[in-house]
């Protein structure tokens, strides 16, 4: 990720091969299939990198950094994004202007579609329009809420803050979690990502529906949410 590249350029970690970001490296429109191909190779790279540099000291920590809320302390590896205090945020190495230029947009739209950003974050690849459209189709298919969540939202008092309702709905969706069920069954760690992927896709698909119900209950007299496009 960008954080590792920065450590390399500063000489903290010896120079090693860092794969460049790719554009539409896999023509498949099935995100899960694309990830299934990428993850084993990525895991092998991480294993090799840790074996070679696992004992490398990244930085020293002083008392002010601790009292300052861990400010400027490097605590984890992040590959999806990095926030630089001077340069700003990058997503998989791309700045916001670059994302605005490269990622697919809706017809007549000026900003990138969330589905394209999701593909980029997951894979590191700039998606094609077909790949972006495939995510849209899949999210639409997963967008319906369980009856118990809708009933809970409809029963909340009008003075309950929208974000409190939003958080409660997300927590209530745990009942639908595929990862929770797989973890309880004791599935192998190597397959955790598959269930985490399913939960992530389900949640991202359902959040707009949750937000729409909350908004209509509070500001539109509880009128029905429009049917989701197939």
- The CATH number of whichever domain residue 129 belongs to comes to 1.10.580.10
Mean pLDDT confidence for 17-39? 75
In this structure, the answer to whether residues 162 and 135 fall within a common structural domain is no
In this structure, the answer to whether residues 121 and 164 fall within a common structural domain is no
Contact 165/214 with Cβ under 8 angstroms? yes
pLDDT value at residue 23: 54
Instruction: List the one residue out of 227, 74, 46 whose CA is nearest residue 144.
Output: 227
Mean pLDDT confidence for 141-152? 96
In this structure, the answer to whether residues 197 and 100 fall within a common structural domain is no
pLDDT value at residue 7: 52
Max distance between CA atoms of the chain, in angstroms, equals 61
Residue 14 lies in domain: 2-50+71-141
The answer, yes or no, to whether residue 230 has pLDDT greater than 80, is: no
In this structure, the answer to whether residues 84 and 23 fall within a common structural domain is yes
d(CA 52, CA 188): 26
User: Would 197 be classed as within a structural domain?
Assistant: yes
On average, the pLDDT of the chain sits at 89
pLDDT value at residue 160: 96
pLDDT tens profile 170-206: 999 999 999 999 999 999 999 999 999 999 999 999 9
Instruction: List the one residue out of 190, 206, 100 whose CA is nearest residue 149.
Output: 206
d(CA 225, CA 107): 23
The answer, yes or no, to whether residue 89 has pLDDT greater than 90, is: yes
User: Would 147 be classed as within a structural domain?
Assistant: yes
Mean pLDDT confidence for 160-164? 97
The answer, yes or no, to whether residue 36 has pLDDT greater than 80, is: yes
Half-sphere exposure of 123 (CA within 13 A, CB side): 29
In this structure, the answer to whether residues 112 and 19 fall within a common structural domain is yes
The answer, yes or no, to whether residue 125 has pLDDT greater than 90, is: yes
User: Would 227 be classed as within a structural domain?
Assistant: no
Alpha helices in 143-225 (DSSP H): 147-155, 162-172, 178-185, 192-219
d(CA 58, CA 7): 8
User: Would 99 be classed as within a structural domain?
Assistant: yes
User: Would 112 be classed as within a structural domain?
Assistant: yes
User: Would 225 be classed as within a structural domain?
Assistant: no
Last residue of a domain, one of 125, 141, 157: 141
d(CA 10, CA 49): 17
In this structure, the answer to whether residues 118 and 31 fall within a common structural domain is yes
In this structure, the answer to whether residues 77 and 166 fall within a common structural domain is no
Tokens of 100: 């605005």
Contact 29/130 with Cβ under 8 angstroms? yes
Mean pLDDT confidence for 8-14? 47
Residue 20's pLDDT band, with cuts at 50, 70 and 90, is very low
In this structure, the answer to whether residues 43 and 150 fall within a common structural domain is no
Is 90 in a helix, a strand, or coil?
strand
User: Would 55 be classed as within a structural domain?
Assistant: no
Q: Residue 49 is inside which H or E element, if any?
A: helix 31-53
In this structure, the answer to whether residues 114 and 29 fall within a common structural domain is yes
In this structure, the answer to whether residues 112 and 164 fall within a common structural domain is no
Last residue of a domain, one of 141, 172, 202: 141
What domain count does the chain have? 2
In this structure, the answer to whether residues 176 and 76 fall within a common structural domain is no
The answer, yes or no, to whether residue 97 has pLDDT greater than 60, is: yes
- Structure pTM? 0.83
In this structure, the answer to whether residues 99 and 185 fall within a common structural domain is no
**Residue 92 φ/ψ region, left for φ over 0, alpha for ψ in the -120 to 50 degree band, beta for the rest:** left
Last residue of a domain, one of 87, 115, 141: 141
Residue 221's pLDDT band, with cuts at 50, 70 and 90, is confident
pLDDT value at residue 9: 45
Instruction: List the one residue out of 163, 169, 144, 152 whose CA is nearest residue 225.
Output: 144
Residue 135's pLDDT band, with cuts at 50, 70 and 90, is very high
The answer, yes or no, to whether residue 21 has pLDDT greater than 50, is: no
User: Would 137 be classed as within a structural domain?
Assistant: yes
37-51, 76-90, 157-171, range with the lowest pLDDT: 76-90
- Give the distance from CA 31 to its chain's centroid: 13
Handedness of CA 16, 7, 46, 81 (dihedral sign): negative
The answer, yes or no, to whether residue 12 has pLDDT greater than 60, is: no
Mean pLDDT confidence for 157-180? 96
């Amino acid at each position: 990720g960008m954080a590792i590249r920065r450590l390399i350029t500063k000489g903290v970690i010896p120079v090693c091969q860092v794969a460049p970001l790719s554009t539409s490296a896999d023509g498949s429109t099935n995100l899960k299939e694309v990830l299934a191909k990428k993850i084993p190779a990525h895991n092998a790279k991480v294993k090799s990198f840790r074996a070679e540099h696992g004992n490398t000291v990244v930085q020293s920590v002083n008392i002010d950094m601790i009292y300052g809320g861990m400010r400027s302390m490097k605590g984890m590896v992040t590959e999806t994004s990095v926030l630089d205090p001077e340069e700003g945020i990058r997503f998989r190495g791309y700045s916001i202007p670059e994302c605005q230029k490269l990622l697919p947009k809706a017809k007549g739209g000026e900003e990138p579609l969330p589905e394209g950003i999701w593909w980029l974050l997951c894979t590191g690849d700039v998606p094609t329009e077909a790949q972006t459209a495939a995510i849209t189709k899949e999210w639409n298919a997963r967008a319906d809420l369980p009856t118990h969540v809708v009933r809970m939202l409809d029963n909340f008092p009008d003075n309950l803050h929208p974000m409190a309702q939003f958080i409660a709905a997300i927590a209530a969706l745990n009942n639908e979690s595929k990862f929770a069920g797989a973890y309880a069954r004791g599935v192998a760690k190597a397959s955790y990502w598959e269930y985490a992927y399913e939960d992530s896709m389900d949640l991202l698909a359902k959040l707009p529906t949750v937000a729409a119900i909350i908004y209509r209950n509070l500001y539109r007299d509880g009128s029905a949410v429009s049917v989701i496009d197939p």
